[in-house]
Structure 1
Amino acid sequence: MYHPLLSGRSHLLRRATNFLCAAGLFFAAGASAEQLPPPIDVPEVLKNYQDTQDCFPGVIHDPSTIAEVQSIVRDAAAQGRKVMTGTRRFNSQIDAACAGNGEVQITLENMNQVVSLDKENRLVTVQAGMRFNDLAAYLREHELSVPMVTELAIFSIGGMLGSGTHGSTFTQKSNMISDYVTEIKLVDGKGNLRVITGELLNAARVNLGVLGVVVEVTIEAEPGYKVQAKVKGHRDDSDLENVILGLARDNHSANIAWFPGLGRYTVTTYNKVPLDTRGNAYNAQADVSDFSEYLFGLIFDSLHEADSAALQCFAASLRYTARSSSYFRDVNTGLKKFIKPTGHADLMQHFVCKEPNNCVWDKLPIALQEVAIPFEELPNWIADVRQIIAHSERTCFPLNGIYFRFGKASDSYLGMSAGRDTAFVGIEYTLRQRGEAVPKNYFVNLEIEQMSLRKYGARPHWGKNSVAIFEDMPSRFPKWSQFLDAKAELDPENVFTNPFWQRVSGQDPLENYLTPQCNADGQCYCRTDAHCEQGATCQAGNWYSEARICKKD
């Protein structure tokens, strides 16, 4: 049996075991969408946080005022150019916020301030370039809280509305910040400033950046509170279908990591406590040393290259151990808090990296596929995944297991939870840039994805995933046509569009991405053997026969 731990770097990998057990990392996404050649005379290239996705706009603007945004849009429209809003180091694994080649890119990095606070009515208005962690810290100073918390807090508010960024809560109105927005100021396709309220607001809550440039957002807050966390590991997963919906319903927030290859799962729950409750803890999952990151990199390389599933399952057991005990530390002392870790809601639920924009997942080859399925269907989905795994060779999910979060139905037209209570399901795996190597048992992930899409009507996360998963998107949202009506009203000349919108709306059919070996880096689900990596053939799924997977015999 091949085992990289016995190779020349085994002394470092053995030392990594302790670090993996000690640090509860949650890994973010990093696969790439189709890369196009850069146009001539590109002034600046935009890159995502892992350098797996490049954007080649013709010009980049950094406005400081709404008037400047209006001028930029009017000039672009007059020239027949397209406009998209994004950041220079965007936190997405796909090109959702990229202007097309040679088009006009706007960043709002200079529009990142609080505009006003109505403390009596608990309403805060911010510029769209403000980061979520800065908003949470500002509200905390005023003994207020954002009603939801996302686990990675460095996203801009405008970006969170663009993609429908979410956390996990089933006791609040929503797990998306989009649903707590009461008003949006937006520069439309003619350069006019529009104040969006009423039913049109439901179109703009999750807007993909194709309705206009969101410049200001008013958000409803709630009285400040703290949360108390509980972390527990379960070494027998046979009851998961029976308890998982109750865990979501009975706690303020619940995150569950299922390791089906091990027959185990972990549960982290957060429940509200009064603001004056003792405790000042924070979530230290991502607060690791440079040396730890180096060791993680060695582990990841070995995971990717191993021919046997043994190392994959060994790493999964380390992740299970890391997630089954407290990963909270005291803000003042840095010491771990094992007994009833308590702290401000935002600091407890989002990850604090050792540097604000420098997290461990920025450096490691990781991809994240996430979909949303109807909440009540989750036990059936879990049972089907058990069957897929049982009919495949042993498969472990070493990075974070299969990760579950939850949210109530949203009034937004294009939110992942639009119109239905929702379970959010994420699977992470190692992936080299451009698919230079296919992860171990990648075909199992692809079978689960296709089953989720075609049997459970899954909706892919707008800011994660790879090209192939965005199939038949208009059919997945009952109010898709109403969203198109809103786009026609706000952007009649189609100024706000980009390659991502053209793909997900069907203007650029996914058939165009059926190229040699396109399956290996997520560009397609295979239809012929030519779409697979060398040595693999396109076959029916092992359990879900409607899936098409690339598998080596």
Structure 2
Amino acid sequence: MTSTLRESTAAWSNWARTVRCEPRYRIAPRSEEDIAAAVALSAERGLTVRAAGSGHSFNPLALTDGVMVDLSRYSGVESLDREGRTITVRAGTSLAEISAVLDRAGLALANIGTLAEQTVAGAISTGNHGTGLKHGTFADQVEALRLVTANGGVRELSRDGSAELLRCARTSMGTLGVISSVTLRCVPRFRLAATERTERLDTLLEGFEEWAGSAEHVSCSWSPWKDTVCSRLVNATEDAPTPGAGRRRYATTLSEVRCGLVGLVAGAAPAAVPRLDGFLSGRGSGPGAHVDVSHKVFTFPQPVKFVALEHALALGDVPEALRRLRGTLRRAGRYSPYSVLVRVGASDDAPLSPAYGRATGYVNLTVPRSVPFLELLRVVERELRDLGGRPHWGKAHTATEQVLAPLYPEWDVFQDVRADLDPQGLFTNDFTARVLGPVRPAGKVG
């Protein structure tokens, strides 16, 4: 066990290159036993532990000056049950790899977000999601997981035997332990038909809840200096894939590249974005109407580095949020080259899920990484927070425990589980202390 931890000389940074740390020790486990040994030794030496995957969190969620468990290569399928429609994978397995394996087996994930490169443990731990009123967060597809806890032991959590613990562990930001493997519920392989339409923003807002249920998966993109919005409507279909469908998803990638270029040219002048946008015709164009296998419609490659903020609102509050943003951003005359993205989702029962207990509308703003654009996030965050928005745990925000605790009805339930599984705060860092507070004895939260 003593050879498990070795001094690290390499710094770690997230995908967006916005946060970095220099962990004292950094391990790349080859087995669950490696993870357990590292955690046990860390506890013995009084070192904190954080797990990291692909680094697609925009905040300091994974940072540590103690021990970093790098799961980015701890990947692969452990088992696939075609009859029972489940797949068990190591925590560092990307959603792209899972989707590819399932596709070959005639199966699929029912719903995923747009980024296939993130790891399964990171996606569930931060409340990642796709869109659709019949679909919860990605973590809602978790049937079981294995968790290495603060004493170096391994707990197997399932919906059958430990449903309460699983509820908390599904979305926990790594504060209950290191996830070593995840079992996901699958569905038969399916294709999706995607269509797009442009309509007036006010028309969409007036019938927002009807729009939200107008397709199985809906989203809309809105540039706040415009009075129109682009809706994307996606439904399952038996139709054959569109010729050249594999290339269609790169239309969205090209749109991301154009946004990045506008951000570079605008530099320190966000007010210039609408004018520059006009020069790059087609910047907002997507892949258009097409049919393809589900995971290729859900996702697209994202090569341009950026920073994003997202808040989960009660579904009925989204129209007011967009109206407020329209007024605030237009008065300021400052914009991001990326559209405001709106998605929807079903309620969730994980105590720290941003979708806990309510049908949800997600409002997302992406910005280039320069300071003038980053300041826009604070402007948008104030408006969304005022409407009771719950921040995505993996995206940029400034909320603290005092702001967050009143937003989650089962906040104390989670904190009691945290106190039971990690009484010494082994899995805590500055970020988790800010958003969750310190670990307190069970029953003494609040």
TM superposition score normalised by structure 1: 0.72
The residue aligned with 2:220 is 256
Conservation of the 8 A alpha-carbon contact between 2:217 and 2:233: yes
- AA of the residue aligned to 1:439: F
Partner of 2:283: 322
Deviations 1:111-130 (A, max 9, x none): 21111111111011111111
Superposed, which structure 2 residues align to 1:34-433 within 5 Å? 43-87=9-53, 90-99=55-64, 101=65, 103-172=66-135, 174=136, 176-197=137-158, 198-234=163-199, 236-274=200-238, 281-282=245-246, 283-285=249-251, 287-288=253-254, 299-306=262-269, 309=271, 311-317=272-278, 321-324=282-285, 326-327=286-287, 340-352=289-301, 359=303, 361-362=304-305, 366-389=306-329, 392-400=331-339, 402-432=340-370
CA separation of 1:168 and 1:317: change in aligned 2, threshold 3 A: farther
Q: 2:420 aligns with which of 472, 489, 510?
A: 489
C-alpha distance 316-244 of structure 1, shift in aligned 2 (>3 A): farther
Contact between 1:261 and 1:397, CA under 8 Å: does it hold in 2?
Answer: no
Match of 2:406 in 1: 475
- SS class of match (1:424): strand
Q: Distance in 1 between matches of 2:277 and 2:422?
A: 47
| SS across alignment from 1:199 | helix
Provide closer, same or farther for how the CA distance between residues 188 and 229 of structure 1 changes in structure 2, counting only shifts above 3 A: same
Q: Tell me the percent identity.
A: 24
Distance 2:239 2:96 in 1: 19
Deviation at 1:50? 2.7
What whole-Å deviation, never above 9, does each CA across 1:66-115 have from its counterpart, x for those lacking one? 1111111111111111111003x51122110222x2x0110123421111
In the other structure, the counterpart of 1:449 is 381
* Partners of 1:460 and 1:469 within 8 A in 2: no
Cα offset, 1:497, TM superposition: 1.0
Secondary structure of the equivalent of 1:210?
coil
Contact 1:115 1:127 in 2 (8 A): yes
Q: Could you say if the C-alpha distance between residues 51 and 385 of structure 1 is closer, same or farther in structure 2, counting changes exceeding 3 Å?
A: closer
Structure 1 counterpart of 2:203, which letter? D
Shift of 1:288: 4.7
Q: Conserved in 1, the CA contact under 8 Å of 2:347 and 2:360?
A: yes
Give distance in 1, aligned partners of 2:437 and 2:291.
47
Query: Whole-Å Cα distance in 2 between the matches of residues 151 and 109 of structure 1?
Result: 19
Amino acid aligned to 2:341: Y
Larger radius of gyration: 1
Whether the aligned pair in 1 keeps the contact of 2:223 and 2:338 (CA below 8 Å) is no
Give the alignment's Cα RMSD to 1 decimal: 2.5
Change (3 A) 1:288 1:312: closer
Aligned 8 A contact 2:259 2:337 in 1: no
Aligned with 1:305: secondary structure?
coil
Q: Is contact 1:151-1:351 (8 Å) kept? A: yes
> How far apart in 2 are the matches of 1:320 and 1:166?
30
Distance in structure 2 (CA, Å) of the matches to 1:53 and 1:43 = 17
Identify if the C-alpha distance between structure 1 residues 72 and 486 changes in structure 2 by more than 3 Å, giving closer, same or farther.
same
**In 2 relative to 1, CA 239–344 (structure 1 residues): closer, same or farther, beyond 3 Å?**
same
Indicate the SS of the match to 1:373. Answer: strand
Give the whole-Å Cα distance in 1 for the aligned partners of 2:37 and 2:81: 30
Whether the aligned pair in 2 keeps the contact of 1:84 and 1:496 (CA below 8 Å) is yes
Partner AA of 2:182 in structure 1 = V
Letter of the 1:304 partner, please give it.
Answer: G
Question: Deviations for 1:534-553, whole angstroms, at most 9, x for unmatched residues?
Answer: xxxxxxxxxxxxxxxxxxxx
Structure 1 residues not aligned, in runs of 5+: 1-40, 328-337, 354-358, 509-553
Shift of 1:316: 4.3
Number of aligned positions between the proteins? 427
Cα drift, residue 259 of structure 1: 2.1
Number of the residue aligned with 1:535? none
Shift of 1:42: 5.6
